[in-house]
Chains A and B, each alone.
Chain A
Amino acid sequence: ETGVTQTPRHLVMGMTNKKSLKCEQHLGHNAMYWYKQSAKKPLELMFVYNFKEQTENNSVPSRFSPECPNSSHLFLHLHTLQPEDSALYLCASSQRGLEDEQFFGPGTRLTVL
């Protein structure tokens, strides 16, 4: 596989469930990102990881918990979500320090019932 992959592509969960989103990049990048894309709102940056270290948490509620075990994998752990958290969650990666483009995954469409 090449590029940035995300699983699952679609997820429906109840407010009491716990689930995780997975992102994997095969580009040798060292920075990874989570974005939230809601209808009629600009993409919102949630978290940034550089060399597995979280360098940005954009005031995201604690019901979203990121994990970056290595520079190729990024997870977003979800628990006790709200219906307003329903959105497309996009993962991206880039080569930090080069102001280079970010490569995006296809996203996970999350629906919270």
Chain B
Amino acid sequence: AQTVTQSQPEMSVQEAETVTLSCTYDTSENNYYLFWYKQPPSRQMILVIRQEAYKQQNATENRFSVNFQKAAKSFSLKISDSQLGDTAMYFCAFMKHGSNAGNMLTFGGGTRLMVKP
């Protein structure tokens, strides 16, 4: 079974600054996918960024980037130039590759990020 751990229950950052959210996971799989999801106060969860484990290059999406360390089983999210709209719960999630039962996600406990003006 996989486990995902987010060690920072809450974080805050000043607007326009950079913040890094931590995520570690435990798995015996070699091929898998990692995701960061954002859940704003309105509650609709949306995908922020994804990383395929077989790719060494870290994924980036505009102001969002990850630091994927496969050997260390670490997958942190960096948010640059933080904006007030980035205030949300952030969930790290793991998906095993090639699951016959569907795309099942294992989530971490979440980090509540507050961006301060």
* Chain A residues in the interface with B (C-beta under 8 A): 31, 33, 40-43, 45, 48-50, 55-56, 88, 90, 92, 94, 96, 98-102, 104-107
A101 touches B102 (CB 8 A): no
Residue in A closest to B46 when the chains form the complex, CB atoms: A104
Complex-state Cα separation, A101 to B105, whole angstroms: 10
B43 touches A31 (CB 8 A): no
A residues within 8 A CB of B105? 43, 45, 102
B42 touches A99 (CB 8 A): no
Q: Given that A41-B109, A101-B35 are known contacts, is A96 also in contact with B42, CB under 8 Å in the complex?
A: no
CB distance from B21 to the nearest CB of A (A): 15
Asked whether B101 is an interface residue with its Cβ less than 8 Å from the other chain, the reply is yes
Other 13 A-B pairs with CB < 8 A, given A56-B102, A104-B44, A105-B44: A43-B107, A45-B106, A48-B104, A55-B100, A56-B101, A92-B45, A94-B103, A98-B103, A102-B103, A104-B45, A104-B46, A106-B43, A106-B44
Q: Given that A48-B104, A99-B33 are known contacts, is A88 also in contact with B43, CB under 8 Å in the complex?
A: yes
Q: Given that A33-B102, A50-B102 are known contacts, is A101 also in contact with B47, CB under 8 Å in the complex?
A: yes
B102 touches A107 (CB 8 A): no
B residues within 8 A CB of A48? 101-102, 104
23 intermolecular pairs with C-beta atoms under 8 Å apart: A31-B103, A33-B104, A41-B109, A42-B109, A43-B105, A45-B105, A48-B102, A56-B102, A88-B43, A90-B45, A92-B45, A96-B102, A98-B103, A99-B103, A101-B35, A101-B47, A101-B50, A102-B105, A104-B44, A106-B42, A106-B43, A106-B44, A107-B43
CB distance from A3 to the nearest CB of B (A): 8
Interface size on B, residues (CB 8 A): 26
B residues within 8 A CB of A106? 42-44
CB distance from A23 to the nearest CB of B (A): 13
B residues within 8 A CB of A90? 45
Instruction: For B103, give its contact among A40, A42, A100 (CB under 8 Å).
Output: A100
